[in-house]
Amino acid sequence: MENRVTNARRYENGVLKDCQDALTTELPLQIKINGKPFSVTMRTPGADEDLVRGLLFTEEIVLPGHAACTFREERETADVHTIDVTIPPLYLCPNVHEKRTLLASAACGLCGQREFDAPGLSTRPLVPSGKLPLARVQSLIAAMRAEQHTFAATGSTHAAALFRLDGSLLAAAEDIGRHNAVDKVVGNLLKRDQLRDAQVLAVSGRISFEIVSKAYRAGIPFLLAVSAPSSFAVDMCQRWGMTIIGYCRDTRCTVYAHPEQVA
């Protein structure tokens, strides 16, 4: 993942000085399905196939059978890349091209959608394979932070990481968009056929409903966040059997849903 160095002027201790600063790269990615435009998402280049694979899965564009998808990269211009996904119609959800408008911001999960369509607000709750020890939470957050190399250079990326319940790291990713980072790690495990091993999702920012929805679709029952969850995120975690833990900082954290699932 490449950063861009830019000239700037820094004001510090009453003095203005010329400097150079690293910026996180943000560029558009055109997504096509079977040759037809589906969406343009703003993202940080890198792991683009994982991003598209995860996005199509977590938004229920691709039905079970995602392994049948093939990906072809194209370069529209120097700054615009395209991924054309070939998906047999058998595995596509109905009216797939009505699911999104053409432009989706990196900051928003639902803003590109034409209508609200939660993945079954009364769907069967998830059942975790065991309890998550609260004493392990900080080590999981620390493991995610250790993978935030772009953030260390630029201070402007989000991160997501997936873990087994025993604390072992399965995948980590950074992106300018919170939802993109989640889609990248989900897509990475889909590609490696390891998504069933993931039990814990950690994110570097807040948890909104969109993050909960993606985690539910991926079958992940434990969510950790450095910041707070939204009210709707907590409500849906209560309904979907998911434990949501916010403010995971230093030696503290707050359990907002299903505390009986932590140890």
pTM of the model: 0.85
Sign of the dihedral defined by the CA atoms of residues 94, 96, 98, 100, in that order: positive
Q: Is residue 63 part of a domain?
A: no
List, by residue number, the catalytic residues.
Answer: 108
Residue 23, both tokens: 């910026």
Q: Is residue 71 part of a domain?
A: no
With beta carbons less than 8 A apart as the criterion, state whether 44 and 81 touch.
no
Structural domain span for residue 217: 134-261
Q: Is residue 58 part of a domain?
A: no
What total number of domains does the chain contain?
A: 1
Chain mean pLDDT for the chain: 86
Distance CA 84, CA 58 (A): 18
Q: Is residue 68 part of a domain?
A: no
Q: Is residue 196 part of a domain?
A: yes
- CATH number for the domain spanning 197: value is 3.40.140.10
- Residue 255 burial by Cβ neighbours in a 10 Å radius (0-12, 13-18, 19+): middle
With beta carbons less than 8 A apart as the criterion, state whether 219 and 126 touch.
yes
End-to-end CA distance of the chain: 37
Q: Is residue 60 part of a domain?
A: no
Q: What is the pLDDT of residues 20-69, one digit of tens each?
A: 888 888 888 999 999 988 888 889 999 999 999 999 998 888 876 666 68
Q: Is residue 11 part of a domain?
A: no
Tens digit of each residue's pLDDT, the chain (263 residues): 568 888 888 878 888 788 888 888 888 899 999 998 888 888 999 999 999 999 999 888 887 666 668 888 877 666 778 999 998 888 888 777 666 555 555 555 544 544 444 445 557 899 999 999 999 999 999 999 999 999 999 998 999 999 999 999 999 999 999 999 999 999 999 999 999 999 999 999 889 888 999 999 999 999 999 998 988 899 889 999 999 999 999 888 999 999 999 99
Report how far apart, in Å, the C-alpha atoms of 114 and of each of 98, 117, 223, 233 are: 7, 9, 27, 21
